[in-house]
């Protein structure tokens, strides 16, 4: 029905022009030309805002150019008005092909992929128009968004959006965003109808601009987020050459930017499946030229932007799999430095699958297959324990999955666990966490320490195409002490405080009376047998000396200038450790106590020299002594915490 009404309006307008066109209007009367202009504007608004199909009722047969007149000129102008390419000025009647119509035809040709865009209505343009039956389709309002500011003129500001930027287009990429266009509608809703883009090769090489669509990309998209508004193939039939430049126009977008809002359209490309390696790393440019974006406001007036051209560059890279990477790093849940009591087997001197290390393996840009892995396992200490077998588990899943195993020989320093042909797949953009565990045999009361690490050179992997990669990163585990009997330790809390008068107060050169105190609360559980712990009065106290069990760190570095005269420690052992005299107590197997110990220093060294002003100090708990009651009278010392900051206080300003 709307289609019929508009056709009638057009017919009335044309008829009025023919009947009354020769009359001279009376002063003050509305002229036929003015009436015609009003009808033109009405037709354009109806076509744009009502979402109807407007039929010109004409099959174009004539070549039309500047100076042409007649019914086909009227039909052409009606078509151009309805599609938003032409606005007839007030007082100007249809029927004459002038400069405005020529410019409108050129815009129509650019929007419809007709070349050249010279504004001449010839055989190519007629064939394009007639192929659609002379029907102009305007998308309906509603779900797709329609103009609400009917009759209101507005403007659109077009500018470069900050993202995307620095994009790499890989062989085989699809729908890859390379350019963002920011649109701001003012005074009226603006319906964006088309975007014109200039294609350039941007290197200083001999590569041609035509290689943009011959070698690199074969399709272009205009999108609102992930929604494709329009697209076009990139080939010799769709690209328009203007002078020495090459353009592509994507039309029929019908994307409404509401009044007073900003929207962003993204331009995306499909890359060719493969290109010559000479194009790897080349730079390409998409430019939005002056007036490259056309929209229609509420008054059916065309609005163009930008006023100044802008562009965004991207680079072409080889097939994504060829750029795949594998990065290795220490997992946040890798075991901390600790002491483990191995009580497995009938002789209670074994640990099965003791975890030494957790490492993250992250694949990017392609699926990566971890084919081989070497893990260095190191041992220090009494040299009585043996690591016999190493295990590799994927702990990213639950339950954990065994990836491989490797044999180790008795260690006298270090050995390597080589996991071969494991062929473990790490999906693209995924991190897998692998756990390294070892079987320990033959431990005794003396300390043996184990640790594991993975270096970049220890990792062998390949992409989905079977090509080797260049791996990066490393992972180094903490030291784990092992024994068959001893204390199992847990740090409950740690704190540090300062007190007293800073040096130089109350008079210049005065000695400092300030103090720094660090307090540690740690839980001790006897595992594998009873433990003898020395009291403060013992000849072998729990803490060997006030400086041997604690360390002072100034500005993050160990400071050994503070002697025992400037330090002191105090502690008490709860009665769960049964006294065996005034100097020691026995902590029975599987019993546990929480022991608080406070270490204090003065704000000066042993010889009375004041501590360094303007420094930050922290205290580290470095170890303690004990005896395995039923196995030996030899004093054992647990020191694993000396290797980690987990048993170190925060920094404080002192003195």
Q: What is the mean pLDDT of residues 113-122?
A: 87
Q: Are 427 and 363 in contact (CB under 8 A)?
A: yes
Task: Say how far apart CA 456 and CA 506 lie, in whole Å.
Answer: 58
Residue 422 is predicted with a pLDDT of: 92
**What tokens were used for 189?**
């809703």
Residue 198 is predicted with a pLDDT of: 96
Residue 525 is predicted with a pLDDT of: 95
Q: Are 223 and 263 in contact (CB under 8 A)?
A: no
For residue 75, the surrounding DSSP H or E stretch is helix 71-82
Between 116 and 105, the higher pLDDT residue: 105
In three-state secondary structure terms, 138 is coil
pLDDT band (50, 70, 90) for residue 615:
confident
Task: Say how far apart CA 550 and CA 543 lie, in whole Å.
Answer: 9
Q: Please report, for residues 183, 248, 257, 439, 574, the alpha-carbon distance to residue 263 in angstroms, rounded to integers and kept in the order given.
A: 5, 22, 6, 61, 70
Whether the pLDDT of residue 25 is over 50: the answer is no
Residue with tokens 């990477």: 325
Q: What is the mean pLDDT of residues 494-518?
A: 73
* Beta carbons within 10 angstroms of residue 402's beta carbon: 10
pLDDT band (50, 70, 90) for residue 27:
very low
| Average pLDDT of every residue of the chain | 83
Q: What is the pTM of this model?
A: 0.54
Q: Cis before residue 399, ω within 30 degrees of 0?
A: yes
Phi-psi region of 324 (alpha: psi -120 to 50; beta: other; left: phi over 0): beta
Whether the pLDDT of residue 45 is over 60: the answer is no
| The listed CATH number (3.40.50, 2.60.40, 1.20.1070, 1.10.3470) that belongs to domain 155-318 | 2.60.40
Q: Are 554 and 616 in contact (CB under 8 A)?
A: yes
β-bridge pairing 338-341 and 480-483: parallel
β-bridge pairing 448-454 and 531-534: unpaired
Beta bridge partners of 55: 135
Q: What is the mean pLDDT of residues 97-108?
A: 91
What are the two backbone dihedrals, phi and then psi, of residue 227, each rounded to the nearest 5 degrees? -85, 120
CA-wise closest residue to 534 among 487, 482, 466, 478: 487
In three-state secondary structure terms, 117 is coil
pLDDT per position as a tens digit, 484-493: 899 999 999 9
pLDDT per position as a tens digit, 55-72: 455 788 888 998 888 888
Q: Please report, for residues 13, 19, 75, the alpha-carbon distance to residue 33 in angstroms, rounded to integers and kept in the order given.
A: 9, 12, 17
Q: What is the mean pLDDT of residues 444-462?
A: 89
Between 551 and 629, the higher pLDDT residue: 551
Residue 510 is predicted with a pLDDT of: 56
β-bridge pairing 515-527 and 592-602: antiparallel
Give CATH for domain 325-483.
2.60.120
What is the distance between the terminal CA atoms of the chain, rounded to a whole angstrom?
A: 92
Which residues, other chains included, contact 35 with Cβ-Cβ below 8 Å and sequence gap of 6+? 13, 16
Residue 30 is predicted with a pLDDT of: 53
pLDDT per position as a tens digit, 190-199: 999 999 999 9
Task: Say how far apart CA 617 and CA 597 lie, in whole Å.
Answer: 18
CA-wise closest residue to 289 among 193, 118, 158, 109: 158
In three-state secondary structure terms, 38 is helix
Beta bridge partners of 475: 454
Task: Say how far apart CA 83 and CA 5 lie, in whole Å.
Answer: 18
* Cα R_g (the chain), whole angstroms: 41
Whether the pLDDT of residue 35 is over 70: the answer is no
Between 454 and 387, the higher pLDDT residue: 454
Residue 347 is predicted with a pLDDT of: 84
Phi-psi region of 528 (alpha: psi -120 to 50; beta: other; left: phi over 0): left
Whether the pLDDT of residue 8 is over 50: the answer is no
Q: Cis before residue 551, ω within 30 degrees of 0?
A: no
Task: Say how far apart CA 224 and CA 468 lie, in whole Å.
Answer: 39
Q: Exposed e or buried b for every residue in 501-540, given b needs 16+ CB within 10 A?
A: ebbeeeeeeeebebbbbbbbebebbbbbbbbbbbbeebeb
Task: Say how far apart CA 100 and CA 122 lie, in whole Å.
Answer: 17
Q: Please report, for residues 140, 361, 407, 640, the alpha-carbon distance to residue 433 in angstroms, rounded to integers and kept in the order given.
A: 53, 6, 21, 25
Torsion of the alpha carbons at 495, 520, 489 and 571, rounded to the nearest 10: -170
Residue 502 is predicted with a pLDDT of: 62
pLDDT band (50, 70, 90) for residue 135:
very low
pLDDT per position as a tens digit, 359-384: 999 998 788 999 999 999 988 876 67
pLDDT band (50, 70, 90) for residue 608:
low
Q: 32-49 and 71-82 helices cross at what angle (nearest 10)?
A: 40
Give CATH for domain 2-137.
1.10.101.10
Task: Say how far apart CA 328 and CA 375 lie, in whole Å.
Answer: 13
Whether the pLDDT of residue 480 is over 60: the answer is yes
Task: Say how far apart CA 464 and CA 17 lie, in whole Å.
Answer: 72
For 417-482, give the DSSP string.
EEE-S--EEE-TTEEEEEEEEEEEE---SS-EEEEEEE-GGGEEEE-TTS-B---EE-EEPPPEEE
Residue 409 is predicted with a pLDDT of: 64
Domain ranges of the chain: 2-137, 155-318, 325-483, 486-654
Q: Cis before residue 89, ω within 30 degrees of 0?
A: no
Residue 208 is predicted with a pLDDT of: 86
Residue 151 is predicted with a pLDDT of: 83
For 9-33, give the DSSP string.
HHHHHHHHHHHHTTSPPPTTSPPHH
Task: Say how far apart CA 295 and CA 259 lie, in whole Å.
Answer: 13
The highest-confidence range among 277-281, 507-511, 588-592, by mean pLDDT, is 588-592
For residue 46, the surrounding DSSP H or E stretch is helix 32-49
Q: Exposed e or buried b for every residue in 609-647, given b needs 16+ CB within 10 A?
A: ebbeeeeebbbbbbbbbbbbbebeeeebebbbbbbeeeb
Residue 36 is predicted with a pLDDT of: 53
Q: What is the DSSP letter of 56?
A: -
Q: Are 375 and 390 in contact (CB under 8 A)?
A: yes
82 exposure class (CB count in 10 Å sphere: 0-12, 13-18, 19+): buried
**What tokens were used for 213?**
């669509």
Q: What percent of the chain has pLDDT over 90?
A: 45
pLDDT per position as a tens digit, 389-410: 999 999 999 999 999 999 886 5
**What tokens were used for 82?**
């309805």
Q: Are 175 and 217 in contact (CB under 8 A)?
A: no
Between 642 and 55, the higher pLDDT residue: 642
CA-wise closest residue to 573 among 556, 587, 555: 587
pLDDT band (50, 70, 90) for residue 46:
low
Q: What is the DSSP letter of 72?
A: H
Which residues, other chains included, contact 201 with Cβ-Cβ below 8 Å and sequence gap of 6+? 207, 208, 209, 211, 212, 282, 283, 284, 285
pLDDT per position as a tens digit, 216-225: 999 999 999 9
């Amino acid at each position: 029905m709307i289609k019929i009404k508009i056709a009638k309006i057009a017919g009335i307008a044309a008829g009025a022009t023919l009947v009354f066109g020769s009359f001279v209007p009376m002063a003050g009367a509305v002229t036929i030309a003015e009436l015609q202009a009003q009808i033109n504007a009405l037709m354009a608004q109806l076509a744009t805002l009502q979402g109807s199909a407007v039929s010109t009722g004409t099959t174009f047969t004539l070549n039309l150019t500047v100076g042409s007149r007649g019914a086909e000129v009227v039909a052409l102008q009606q078509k151009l008005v309805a599609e938003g390419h032409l606005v007839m000025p007030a007082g100007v009647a249809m029927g004459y092909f002038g400069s405005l119509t020529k410019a409108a035809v050129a815009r129509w040709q650019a929007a419809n992929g007709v070349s050249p865009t010279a504004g001449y209505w010839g055989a190519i343009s007629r064939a394009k128009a007639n192929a659609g039956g002379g029907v102009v389709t305007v998308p309906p309002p509603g779900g797709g968004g329609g103009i609400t500011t009917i009759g209101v003129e507005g403007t659109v500001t077009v500018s470069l959006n900050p993202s995307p930027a620095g994009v790499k287009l890989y062989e085989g990429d699809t729908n890859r965003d390379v350019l963002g266009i920011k649109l701001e509608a003012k005074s009226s809703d603006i319906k964006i109808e088309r975007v014109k883009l200039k294609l350039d090769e941007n290197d200083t090489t001999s590569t041609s601009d035509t290689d943009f669509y011959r070698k690199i990309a074969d399709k272009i998209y205009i999108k609102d987020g992930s929604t494709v508004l329009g697209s076009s193939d990139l080939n010799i039939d769709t690209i328009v050459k203007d002078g020495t430049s090459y353009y592509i126009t994507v039309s029929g977008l019908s994307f409404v930017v509401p009044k007073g809002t900003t929207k962003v359209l993204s331009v995306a490309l499909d890359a060719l499946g493969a290109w010559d390696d000479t194009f790897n790393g080349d730079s390409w440019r998409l430019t939005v030229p002056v007036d490259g974006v056309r929209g229609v406001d509420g008054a059916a007036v065309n609005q163009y932007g930008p006023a100044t051209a802008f562009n965004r560059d991207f680079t072409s890279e080889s097939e994504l799999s060829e750029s795949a990477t594998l990065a290795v790093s220490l997992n946040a849940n890798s075991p901390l430095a600790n002491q483990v009591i191995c009580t497995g087997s009938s002789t209670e001197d074994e640990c099965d699958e003791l975890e030494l290390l957790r490492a993250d393996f992250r694949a990017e840009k392609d699926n990566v297959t971890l084919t081989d892995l070497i893990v260095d396992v190191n041992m220090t200490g009494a040299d009585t324990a043996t690591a016999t077998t190493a295990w590799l588990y994927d702990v990213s899943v639950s339950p954990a999955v065994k990836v491989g195993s490797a044999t180790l020989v008795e260690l006298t320093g270090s050995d390597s666990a080589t996991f071969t042909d494991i062929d473990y797949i790490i999906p693209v953009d995924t991190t897998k966490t692998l756990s390294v565990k070892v079987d320990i045999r033959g431990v005794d009361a003396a300390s043996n320490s184990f640790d594991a690490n993975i270096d970049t050179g220890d990792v062998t992997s390949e992409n989905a195409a079977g090509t080797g990669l260049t791996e990066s990163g490393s992972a180094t585990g903490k030291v784990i002490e092992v024994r068959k009997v001893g204390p199992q330790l847990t740090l409950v809390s740690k704190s540090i405080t300062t007190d007293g008068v800073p040096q130089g107060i109350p008079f210049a050169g005065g000695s400092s009376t300030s103090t720094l105190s660090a307090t540690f609360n740690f839980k001790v559980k006897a595992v594998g047998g009873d433990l003898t712990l020395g009291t403060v009065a013992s000849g072998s106290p729990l803490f060997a000396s006030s400086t041997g069990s604690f360390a002072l760190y100034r500005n993050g570095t160990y400071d050994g200038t503070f002697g025992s005269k400037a330090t002191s420690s105090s502690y008490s052992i709860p009665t769960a450790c049964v006294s065996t005299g005034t100097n020691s107590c026995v902590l029975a197997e599987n019993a546990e106590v929480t022991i608080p110990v406070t270490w204090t220093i003065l704000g000066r060294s042993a010889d009375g020299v004041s501590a360094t002003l303007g420094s930050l100090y922290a205290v580290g708990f470095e170890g303690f002594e004990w005896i395995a009651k039923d196995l030996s009278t030899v004093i054992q010392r647990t020191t694993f915490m000396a290797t980690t900051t987990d048993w170190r206080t925060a920094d404080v300003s002192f003195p």
